[in-house]
Amino acid sequence: MHSTLSDVFISHPIHIPLSNLPDFTSLRHLPDSYTWTPKDDLLFSASSSDESLPFIDLSDPHVATRVGHACTTWGAFQITNHGVPSRLLDDIEFLTGSLFQLPVNRKLKAARREDGISGYGVARIASFFNKQMWSEGFTVIGSPLDDFHKLWPRQHLKYCKIIQEYEEHMQKLAAKLMWLALGALGVEEKDIEWAGPISDFQGAQAAIQLNHYPICPEPDRAMGLAAHTDSTLLTILYQNNTAGLQIFRDDVGWITVPPVPGSLVVNVGDLLHILTNGIFPSVLHRARVNHLRSRFSMAYLWGPPSDLMISPLPKLVDPLHSPLYPSLTWKQYLATKATHFNQSLSFIRNYLSSDQIS
């Protein structure tokens, strides 16, 4: 039977009460439950450096080298000339704005279940923190038809069409980026069988995560989305024109990724880190919030078929570089993440056999 990610949290339900979602618009001061200090997140430090994330034109003749270098040094980069029509970026931003401006009781009709994966709610990682994040989200996996029908009984088809078109473009772009990044390491199409007969990764699976960060009365003390890495191969992120995304590098600290109209941010996820036997770091990132403007981001979280075993590519393993990780599926990795969060990679690294991974 064709398996999807949808049942991954059945055995790992995450309890995050939706009942205490505040009415963000009416608050003049940050409630204590939303006020973050360094002890709430050891990574809660200000951004400091003037370094900037590599910005890559995908029509550049040296694109593969640049992508490979950005993946190795940052685990992230920004792209232009990516081929996704700007009209489609406007459409997905319009959909996201329309969704989050619905009254809360309407959004709650499509609330994500505790053991579910799709729908409206706070970020899953909320369960790892004592403080609440200044954001709301909506996850789409598979067809959004049922959820969108609950949100927009008369207009759901219009919004489903946007999601479908967005997924088609993003899937193609993700496959292209994957070959550019791996190509820079000497990995060839024949080295990845699951990419399929025409190497287009047709069997890949994906989630779309829509995020809303409302205007915040005290942004310096709030957190939109706490520091995390994505459990993906690659994530392609579109942000509206309000800054907020920050990424972390050990030797640099936190830097803000400024929104450049029409550009997209690409993050290396944990599974690509595993596949490259640690050559590409998965990037730690977070979202801060804004005093004057609300912010939207739309993440395309792209990974392998959910039951496919992923392990360091044989081509990147030799007597001097023994495999750092055991084989595991995307589903198993998400289950591990649901328990071990930002320690998941080191957790699995310490296990030689995937039999022991929940």
Ligand X SMILES: O=C(O)CCC(=O)C(=O)O
Interacting residue ranges for ligand X, rule: CB under 6 A:
209, 211, 225, 230, 237, 239, 244-245, 285, 287, 297, 299
Does residue 53 interact with ligand L37FFZMX by CB under 6 A? no
Q: Which two tokens stand for residue 47?
A: 């951004």
Q: Among residues 245, 248, 282, which one has the least CA distance to residue 265?
A: 245
Does residue 246 interact with ligand L37FFZMX by CB under 6 A? no
Residue among 124, 249, 286, 295 flagged as catalytic: 295
Distance CA 35, CA 221 (A): 5
Q: Return the residues of window 129-158 that contact ligand L37FFZMX according to CB under 6 A.
A: 139
Does residue 124 interact with ligand L37FFZMX by CB under 6 A? yes
Which DSSP helix (H) or strand (E) runs through 77? strand 76-80
- At residue 81, the 3 state secondary structure works out as coil
Radius of gyration of the chain measured on its C-alpha atoms? 20
**Partner in contact with 348, chosen from Fe ion, ligand X, ligand L37FFZMX, none, beta carbon below 5 to 8 Å by kind:** none
**Partner in contact with 264, chosen from ligand L37FFZMX, ligand X, Fe ion, none, beta carbon below 5 to 8 Å by kind:** none
The question of whether 106 is a catalytic residue gets the answer: no
User: In what order do the strands lie in the sheet containing 225-228?
Assistant: 225-228, 284-287, 245-249, 253-256
Does residue 270 interact with Fe ion by CB under 5 A? no
Q: Which of 79, 223, 230, 271 binds ligand L37FFZMX (CB under 6 A)?
A: 230
Residue 235 CA: distances (Å) to CA of 32, 173, 191, 352? 32, 11, 22, 27
CB atoms near residue 253 (< 10 Å): 14
138 and 207 in contact (C-beta within 8 Å)?
A: no
Does residue 228 interact with ligand L37FFZMX by CB under 6 A? yes
DSSP state of 147: H
From 88-96, 142-150, 225-233, 314-322, span contacting ligand L37FFZMX (CB under 6 A)? 225-233
215 and 291 in contact (C-beta within 8 Å)?
A: yes
Distance CA 56, CA 64 (A): 10
From 30-38, 55-63, 116-124, 254-262, span contacting ligand L37FFZMX (CB under 6 A)? 116-124
Beta strands in 217-342 (DSSP E): 225-228, 234-239, 245-249, 253-256, 264-268, 284-287, 295-303
Comparing CB distances to ligand L37FFZMX, the nearer of 266 and 301 is: 301
Comparing CB distances to ligand X, the nearer of 112 and 285 is: 285
Does residue 230 interact with Fe ion by CB under 5 A? yes
Q: Which of 173, 178, 187, 207 binds ligand L37FFZMX (CB under 6 A)?
A: 207
DSSP string covering 335-347: HHHHHHGGGHHHH
Comparing CB distances to ligand L37FFZMX, the nearer of 206 and 313 is: 206
Does residue 178 interact with ligand L37FFZMX by CB under 6 A? no
Which residues are marked as active site? 295
Residues binding ligand L37FFZMX (CB under 6 A): 5, 117, 123-125, 139, 207, 209, 228, 230-232, 301, 334, 337
